């Protein structure tokens, strides 16, 4: 089959690499830079090896393109574009709309359109289908389905093959064809009764994480006031063999999923006139964490950070990826600078960010660990400053949350 995948980022490129083993894949992206790199066999995504992209490109099974006309002749089109929030924290559907336009303008026969982008329940039925139909003047009777992406970039144990995949079509024929496609590279497929169930399941998975992260972050603050170690309490609670799942405190949440997806769920709740108070409170707690950390560090250092050299260790939003989207390190750094500290950061996985480069892991008055990549040695972090505050619980001997 010819499969076109719109968006060649974390999700789209990961799918492309797996699907190309069985299908002819066209990776459409509107970034010329991304496309040029991919066609040179260079992957920009952790977990997708450059050799794999180069191998499929050489075998004629994979081609990246910015030319919408290249998706003509597809049997399946997968949408894998960003679904961020607008400035006023509402779902930003502009990327999905642009992808629908590309499909409507270029697809020349009935196809199966699958959405993998995370969005609110009803997106396939009430946004994607009507938009493609409108923009293509209803020329073709396409099939539509959702299969929400669950990829966790940087993770070794679960990947496209062994992570169960949810899916649902708008019609039984769409469901059957969606199953046939994913069965070619996924071990376990789980059909649900409607696209809205699949869309909601994806949002609930990430909301579950968001709320539990916020809960443990709030508890870390209570434990500190009690004068006990939050990590020791969590380890103790975790000895219960049932009914408890351990989440660990942190500098806050980052990435494209946890800070964003729950707000898509809150959006539909508001539209339906039902409260989503957990989501709102969890967002508040997680967003306040970077400031709480700066407060703690300031209090430990004589109540002022003015003129102190502070090294923020790890600016990616999670370990072992170069992804800095929505990273809590950004707020930590901004707040430190606002309070007069002289701030540098160390993260050789990220390398350069916001016009600054990773600094050496040494010579600071204060080090604050936001993210601990596995290439970083705890002993080096401890030696980098006389005072080290570790938000990750991975640097033994440092001050902790």
Ligand X SMILES: NC(=O)c1ccc[n+]([C@@H]2O[C@H](COP(=O)([O-])OP(=O)(O)OC[C@H]3O[C@@H](n4cnc5c(N)ncnc54)[C@H](O)[C@@H]3O)[C@@H](O)[C@H]2O)c1
Q: Least distance in Å: CB of 277 to ligand X?
A: 23
Binders of ligand X in range 23-62 (CB under 6 A): 28-31, 34
CB of 96 to ligand X, least distance (A): 8
Q: How far is the CB of 29 from ligand X (least distance, A)?
A: 4
Beta strand ranges found along 7-164 (DSSP E): 24-28, 62-65, 76-79, 112-115, 143-146
Q: Does 12 bind ligand X (CB under 6 A)?
A: yes
98 or 378: CB nearest ligand X: 98
Could you tell me which stretch among 116-124, 181-189, 289-297, 349-357 binds ligand X (CB under 6 A)? 116-124
* Catalytic annotation, residues: 257
Q: Does 115 bind ligand X (CB under 6 A)?
A: no
Tokens representing 368 are 């604050």
- The Cα–Cα gap between 378 and 371 comes to 12
Site string for ligand X, 189-218 (x = CB under 6 A): ------------------------------
- Picking from 228, 82, 325, 215, the residue whose alpha carbon sits closest to that of residue 207 is 215
Pairing of strands 342-346, 352-353: unpaired
Give the integer Cα–Cα distance in Å for 347 and 110.
47
Q: How many residues bind ligand X (CB under 6 A)?
A: 28
Can you tell me which of 17, 53, 71, 81 binds ligand X, judged by CB under 6 A? 81
Q: Does 264 bind ligand X (CB under 6 A)?
A: no
Of 68 and 290, nearer to ligand X (C-beta) is 68
135 binds ligand X (CB under 6 A): no
Out of 11, 223, 293, 331, point to the residue binding ligand X (CB under 6 A): 11
Of 145-153, 170-178, 179-187, 299-307, the window that binds ligand X (rule: CB under 6 A) is 145-153
Angle at 15 between CA 47 and CA 81, to 5 degrees: 100
Listed in sequence order, the residues at least 6 apart from 373 whose beta carbon sits closer than 8 Å to its beta carbon are 314, 316, 319, 320, 347, 348, 349
Contact 113, 100 (CB under 8 A): no
Least separation in angstroms between residue 75's CB and ligand X is 19
Give the one residue of 71, 77, 99, 282 binding ligand X; rule: CB under 6 A: 99
Handedness of CA 326, 332, 337, 339 (dihedral sign): positive
Nearest residue (CB) to ligand X, 95 versus 292: 95
Structure tokens at 57: 């490109």
Cα–Cα dist 393/400, whole Å:
6
Q: In this chain, which of 257, 331, 381, 398 binds ligand X, going by CB under 6 A?
A: 257
Closest among 32, 30, 31, 23 to 4, alpha carbons compared: 23
Among 4, 9, 170, 254, binds ligand X (CB under 6 A): 9
Residue 342, CA distances (Å) to 98, 118, 253, 307, 367 in order = 42, 39, 24, 6, 12
Residue owning tokens 């649902």 = 168
- In the complex, the smallest distance separating the C-beta of residue 369 from ligand X, rounded to whole angstroms, is 23
State the nearest-atom distance from the C-beta of 83 to ligand X, in Å. 4
**Contact residues for ligand X (CB under 6 A)?**
6-12, 28-31, 34, 80-83, 95, 98-99, 102, 116-118, 149, 151, 153, 256-257
């Amino acid at each position: 089959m010819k499969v076109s995948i719109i968006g060649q980022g974390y999700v789209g490129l990961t799918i492309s690499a797996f699907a190309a083993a069985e299908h002819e894949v066209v990776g459409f992206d509107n970034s010329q830079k991304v496309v040029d790199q991919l066609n040179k066999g260079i992957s920009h995504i952790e977990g997708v090896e450059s050799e794999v992209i180069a191998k499929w490109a050489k075998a004629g099974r994979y081609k990246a393109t910015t030319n919408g006309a290249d998706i003509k002749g597809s049997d399946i089109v997968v949408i894998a574009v960003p679904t961020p929030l607008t400035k006023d924290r509402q779902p930003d559907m502009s990327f999905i709309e642009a992808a629908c336009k590309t499909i409507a303008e270029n697809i020349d026969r009935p196809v199966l359109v699958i959405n993998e982008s995370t969005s609110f329940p009803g997106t396939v039925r009430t946004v994607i289908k009507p938009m493609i139909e409108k923009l293509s003047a209803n020329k073709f009777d396409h099939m539509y389905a959702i299969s929400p992406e669950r990829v966790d970039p940087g993770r070794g144990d679960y990947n496209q093959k062994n992570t169960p995949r949810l899916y649902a079509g708008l019609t039984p024929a769409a469901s059957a064809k969606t199953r046939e496609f994913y069965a070619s590279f996924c071990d376990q497929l789980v059909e649900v009764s409607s696209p809205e169930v699949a869309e909601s399941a994806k949002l609930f998975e990430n909301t579950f994480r968001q709320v539990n992260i916020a809960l443990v972050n709030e508890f870390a603050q209570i434990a500190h006031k009690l004068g006990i170690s939050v990590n020791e309490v969590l380890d103790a609670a975790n000895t219960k063999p049932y009914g408890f799942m351990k989440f660990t405190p942190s500098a806050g949440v980052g990435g494209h999923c946890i800070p964003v997806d729950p707000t898509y769920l809150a959006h539909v709740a508001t539209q339906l006139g039902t409260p989503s108070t957990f989501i709102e409170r969890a967002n508040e707690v997680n967003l306040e964490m970077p400031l709480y950390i700066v407060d703690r560090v300031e209090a430990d250092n004589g109540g002022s950070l003015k003129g102190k050299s502070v090294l923020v260790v790890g600016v990616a939003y999670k370990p072992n990826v170069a992804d800095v989207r929505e990273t809590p390190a950004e707020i930590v750094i901004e707040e430190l600078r606002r309070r007069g500290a002289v701030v540098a950061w160390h993260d050789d996985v990220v390398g350069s960010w916001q016009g600054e480069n990773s600094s050496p892991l040494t010579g600071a008055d204060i080090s604050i660990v936001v993210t601990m990549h596995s290439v970083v040695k705890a002993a080096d972090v401890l030696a980098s400053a006389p005072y080290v505050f570790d938000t990750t619980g991975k640097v033994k001997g440092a001050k902790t949350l």
